[in-house]
């Protein structure tokens, strides 16, 4: 799926390519064409990932609902995604983050923390429990990324 940013990148890349193609001698055209197209396509493909990293506060209610729907598989038996919390306060160490998370979420879930990035996986009873686990982790100071893959019983 290409977002509007991706489409804009493709258009700008194409216009730039046409302009440079008409102005450069033959031997420079191939290299410039390759660089411009590679940049435009990379931006077009990567822009959905950039859009996913946008702070939830910038999303409308409809966008938030769609975003929440996309975190589950069609059978609604898996809740997965990645989020970037905006937590304030003094950041905890990885060990402190791990200890705090383990106190707040069910014991059977697996948690790993590396440089403030948290990965949680396992099985939960329902979507609400999965959302609660992710929300609890996002509120821990020092966590800047939460990656989750939670099976729903």
Q: What is the pLDDT along the chain (153 residues), one digit of tens a residue?
A: 455 666 666 677 677 766 766 676 666 666 666 666 666 666 555 555 555 555 555 667 777 777 777 777 667 788 898 999 887 788 999 999 999 999 999 999 999 999 999 999 999 999 899 999 999 999 999 999 999 999 998
CATH code: domain 74-152 is: 3.30.1340
**Residue 153 per-residue DSSP state:** -
Predicted pLDDT at 11 = 74
Give the whole-angstrom CA distance, residue 143 versus residue 141.
Answer: 6
Decide: 138 and 83 in contact? Cβ < 8 Å.
Answer: yes
- Return the SS3 of 140: coil
pTM of the model: 0.58
Give the whole-angstrom CA distance, residue 24 versus residue 26.
Answer: 6
Enumerate the domain spans of the chain. Answer: 4-52, 74-152
Predicted pLDDT at 105 = 94
């Amino acid at each position: 799926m290409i977002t509007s940013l991706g489409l804009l990148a493709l258009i700008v890349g194409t216009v730039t390519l046409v302009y440079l193609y008409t102005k450069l001698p033959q031997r420079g055209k191939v290299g410039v064409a390759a660089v411009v197209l590679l940049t435009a396509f990379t931006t077009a493909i990567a822009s959905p990932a950039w859009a996913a990293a946008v702070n939830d506060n910038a999303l409308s209610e409809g966008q938030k609902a769609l975003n929440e729907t996309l975190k589950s598989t069609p059978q609604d038996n898996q809740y997965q995604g990645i989020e970037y919390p905006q937590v304030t306060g003094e950041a905890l160490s990885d060990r402190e983050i791990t200890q705090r998370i383990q106190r707040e979420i069910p014991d059977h879930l697996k948690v790993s923390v590396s440089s403030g990035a948290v990965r949680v996986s396992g099985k939960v009873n329902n979507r609400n429990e999965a959302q609660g686990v992710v929300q609890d982790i996002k509120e821990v100071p020092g966590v800047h990324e939460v990656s989750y893959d939670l099976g729903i019983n």
